[in-house]
Structure 1
């Protein structure tokens, strides 16, 4: 199913494009707001989305070719919000390795706790047309790729060649974190508190990072500022 925005546009259509973009955004935001309030497993009707957006149902169908396209666009917006929150937390310029891990894992816990319905919706289908991968797995791959690029860049600074272990390491940490936090969030009586969970998962992630670093001849201090570690290894002997 092709997107309305992917078709060639005439001059008249181009003049209306900002207006149509605004309406699409309004529809998607309204759908997400309603989705947050809906019971688990309950689909929000297009009529309800249109009413919440202050638009006629026919306008929704003019902006999106059908329910599948609208749902893909909703999942893409949810994914973008999730990624933005995680990347804000994953700031290598601020903190030690341990504090960065705790902060980033804390952001994952907060997002899943605060948006359980959106998190669930990511598993209901893809965010891109033609994809067979659901939006949650695509999101995990996106965050892992972003983290991999960051770690690979740091490895290059300290003179360590990437032998492929960075790819495995980052995907393992990201997928482990999402799966563990999801299980915890869905448990009506979890054994660990929120703070205990974050510290526990951060310790797992640290052991993975430390193991990979040692195999490359690097000894890291989890409590040292990451910027200091990079400067130390990058300094000429």
Structure 2
């Protein structure tokens, strides 16, 4: 009969596995923090060697935890997007007037880009392996557009209109801002200054909202209080 004391301990094995998984997660986080810092300071072309040195680990550990550079880059993009969305999500909940809400959203987004141009270029470059942008970047852009779409749909429905335009309107606005900013950044933040670009984007967004909402019977102006759009429908 086997000696119970000599049998492998499931509890011990599980504890060792949990410690190892925790160590791996800590190392991965350490590497991602180092990668974001390296890109923020030196640009998107930073090498794995520099990232490993900043993280204080051998380069072989980076590849063991992430597989290859494309896998590492996608996880870095997810980390950058998380940082951006932490800043952006609160200002997508409109307050004050329509103009105020648009100003906060545009200024927050452009402010983050001006402070972190290398991070934004890294996101815009997408995956080297794929012809299109990365899945994480596409999903983040879609999430923002869908949140804006729900706001438009809510307002239109409260005022008795058909909300069919809400989604194309939201995705069109997000695409306009994204493409305009990417082109501006690609030209070295020229020919407009950041403040000038912010102001024209705000005007374009407000004017587009005013015209689109008027088409479905909702009267919107730049000075319209948000509560009038998303509060109880007028009787």
Settle same-fold status: TM greater than 0.5: yes
Give, in angstroms, the shift of residue 196 of structure 1: 3.0
Q: Give the C-alpha shift of residue 84 in structure 1.
A: 2.5
CA distance in 1, matches of 2:27, 2:172: 39
Structure 1 residues 15, 195: CA separation in 2 closer, same or farther (over 3 Å shift)?
same
Alignment map for 1:203-218 (pairs within 5 Å): 203-218=203-218
Unpaired runs of 5+ residues, structure 2, are: 1-12
Structure 1 residues 124-139: aligned runs within 5 Å: 124-126=125-127, 133-135=132-134, 136-139=137-140
Alignment of 1:1-237 (within 5 A): 11=14, 12-39=16-43, 42=45, 44-92=46-94, 94-126=95-127, 133-135=132-134, 136-163=137-164, 165-187=165-187, 190-231=190-231, 233-235=232-234, 237=235
What is the alpha-carbon distance in structure 2 between the residues aligned to residue 120 and residue 190 of structure 1? 15
Residue 131 of structure 1 and its aligned partner are, at CA, apart by 7.0
Q: Distance in 2 between matches of 1:188 and 1:121?
A: 15
Instruction: Return closer, same or farther for 1:170/1:16 CA change in 2, 3 Å cut-off.
Output: same
| Distance in 2 between residues matched to 1:48 and 1:193, nearest whole Å | 33
**Does the 8 Å contact 2:98/2:225 carry over to 1?**
yes
Aligned residues: 220
Q: Deviations over 1:162-202 (max 9, x none)?
A: 22x11111111111112223333444584544333222111
**Structure 2 Cα separation of the partners of residues 150 and 218 of structure 1:** 13
TM-score of the pair, normalised by structure 2? 0.81
Check conservation: 1:86, 1:107, Cα contact below 8 A: yes
d(CA) in 1 for partners of 2:202, 2:189: 21
Distance of 1:217 and 1:79 partners within structure 2? 36
In 2, Cα distance between equivalents of 1:204 and 1:22: 45
TM-score (norm. length: structure 1):
0.81
More helix by share: 2
Would you say the 8 A contact 1:126–1:133 is kept in 2? yes
Shift of 1:37: 1.7
Alignment partner, residue 5 of structure 1: none
Larger radius of gyration: 2
Cα distance in 2, alignment partners of residues 208 and 124 from structure 1: 28
- Please report how far the alpha carbon of residue 116 of structure 1 lies from its aligned counterpart in structure 2 after TM superposition: 1.3
Q: Is the 2:97–2:224 contact (alpha carbons within 8 Å) kept by the matching residues of 1?
A: yes
